[in-house]
Amino acid sequence: MDRTTIDLWVGIFVALGVSALLGLAIKVGNLRSNSLGETYTVTAAFDNVGGLKPRAPIKSAGVVVGRVDDISFDTKNFEAVVTLKIDQRYPFPKDTFANIYTAGLLGEQYLGLEAGGDEESLKNGDRIQQTQDAVVLEKMISQFLYSKASETEPEKAQAPAPATKPSDSKSTELGDAPF
Amino acid sequence: MIKSNLLICLIRTLQSIGRRTIDRLWRLGAGARLFLLTIIYSGESFRRFHLTIREIYSTGVMSLLIVVVSAFFVGMVLALQGYYTLQKYGSSEAIGVLVALSLLRELGPVVTALLFAGRAGTAITAEIGLMKATEQLSAMEMMAVSPIARVVAPRFWAGVISMPLLALLFSMVGILGGYIVAVPLIGVDEGAFWSQMQANVDIREDIINGVIKSIVFGVACTMIALFEGFDAPPTAEGVSRATTRTVVTSSLAVLGLDFVLTSFMLAV
């Protein structure tokens, strides 16, 4: 097949298109942050995972050390079981503490790991024992309101008592009033 | 007398509505048949790929300039307008995310398809309409060369291949335009611009879905242009009308399909 300038232009066009795709994938998309190296898998059970989603970042001291692989429901204990994929480069002690945090006040949720002091480190298939649930905003607000309500209740209980007194005194006043 | 005139007028209106409806349905069916025939005969356009390459040149490469220039301006305007709202909430760093997501998810595929319909679709319709008017298509049939295999299928595949490439270029150049407005002109922090973008743009959900959209638009726009050309009455007026119809129908089809595709993609 003889080569023509049209072929060259089409070649340039296709190359531009493909390089745009690669550029978008590398420069704009999060291709690099997704690519963890070798990972090991551990699980952790939570009473409530809140809005945590698969592929959410796992951070320790603010550094992304892995990603949430899967979230499933354990029907035996009625708990959420989160499977964590952590980069092989970052070994964590056995008594590491797993928390579910929220980025900012209303941001996405991520898993935070706080290293403990154990000599042994977590291995593939281990389970993190110490966990703390996600903060559910509704629960927190209702607890706050409940505690507020219980604070004001004694005041309310006192409040009706003085209210009846003036009426009592008023009736006596009226009764005592000289006509 | 007046009553019967009114009746005749009413009947004629009804008749014309019915005729138009039947005409539309007939055209829809003929279009679907042409689409099927194009798929069946498209083996030829891959076996003799230089035919397709020539069409990629005239649809894709020739649309490159208008797509790149408009992408640049669209990106710059997006950044300016986005900054106007975002700075009210003190989050002007999110401008990168705004520009990238709106280009990749919506504007890239849609605006490229609209430009493509205007730039390449009209050319296809006019070319095929004129081929028909000058009886080149009949001549091909005489020589036992299928005009669908020789003329329609290469143009169809050229459009389907060109559209996603053009849409990707549109998004890329648009993001560059947004970057030029946001970082040197407005003074948004460069690191925040890119890092927020990278944190929030998902390859599969945003980039690949945009590519899928543009492939569908490529099929729709090219098929409409081909059918209008094939269906045009072989007169100067007929060809000009068919060209107009190509732009109108493709634009409506692109915007309608965009809604359908977006709702499907968001539902998943």
| pLDDT number for residue B145 | 87
b/e sequence B123-159, b meaning 16+ C-beta within 10 Å: bbbbbbbebbbeeebeebeeeeeebbbbbbbbbbbbb
- Asked whether the beta carbons of residue A17 and residue B64 sit closer than 8 angstroms, the reply is no
A94-114 tens-digit pLDDT: 888 898 888 766 667 888 888
Comparing A133 with A167, the larger pLDDT belongs to: A133
Cα distance from N-terminal residue to C-terminal residue, chain A: 127
Indicate the average pLDDT of chain A. Answer: 78
Chain A neighbors of B91, CB-CB under 8 A: none
Comparing B82 with A34, the larger pLDDT belongs to: B82
Q: Band the pLDDT of A135: cuts 50, 70, 90.
A: confident
- Asked whether the beta carbons of residue A24 and residue B165 sit closer than 8 angstroms, the reply is no
Q: Residue A64: is its pLDDT beyond 90?
A: no
Return phi, psi of residue B189, to 5°.
-65, 130
**Domain count along chain B:** 1
| pLDDT number for residue A170 | 47
Q: Residue A171: is its pLDDT beyond 50?
A: no
Select the residue of B172, B201, B211 nearest A30 (Cβ to Cβ): B201
- Asked whether the beta carbons of residue B172 and residue A1 sit closer than 8 angstroms, the reply is no
- Asked whether the beta carbons of residue B203 and residue A16 sit closer than 8 angstroms, the reply is no
CA distance B31 to B154: 17
B86-118 tens-digit pLDDT: 888 878 888 989 999 999 999 999 999 999 999
- Asked whether the beta carbons of residue B56 and residue A13 sit closer than 8 angstroms, the reply is yes
Q: List A80's β-bridge partners, or say none.
A: A46, A73
Contacts of A177 (CB under 8 A, 6+ apart): none
Q: List A102's β-bridge partners, or say none.
A: A109
Partner A contacted by B103 (CB < 8 A):
no
| pLDDT number for residue A68 | 86
Q: Residue B72: is its pLDDT beyond 90?
A: yes
CA distance B113 to B170: 11
CA distance B111 to B259: 14
Q: Band the pLDDT of B177: cuts 50, 70, 90.
A: very high
Mutate which: B93, B170, B207, vs A, most A CBs within 10 A:
B207
Closest alpha carbon within chain B to A23: B172
Residue type, A143: Q
Partner A contacted by B236 (CB < 8 A):
no
| pLDDT number for residue A105 | 64
Select the residue of A7, A17, A31 nearest B53 (Cβ to Cβ): A7
Partner A contacted by B102 (CB < 8 A):
no
CB-hemisphere CA count at 13 Å for B80?
A: 9
**Cα B82 to Cα A24, B73, B85, B93, B195, distances in angstroms:** 20, 14, 6, 10, 17
Q: For A103-107, A123-127, B183-187, which range has the lowest pLDDT when averaged over its residues?
A: A103-107
Task: Provide the residue range defining the domain that includes B181.
Answer: 1-267
| pLDDT number for residue A177 | 47
Partner A contacted by B201 (CB < 8 A):
yes
B250-265 tens-digit pLDDT: 999 999 999 999 998 8
Cβ atoms < 10 Å from Cβ of B92: 22
Question: Helices in B118-208 by DSSP H: which ranges?
Answer: 122-133, 136-142, 147, 153-180, 190-200
Q: For A54-58, B10-14, B96-100, B148-152, which range has the lowest pLDDT when averaged over its residues?
A: A54-58
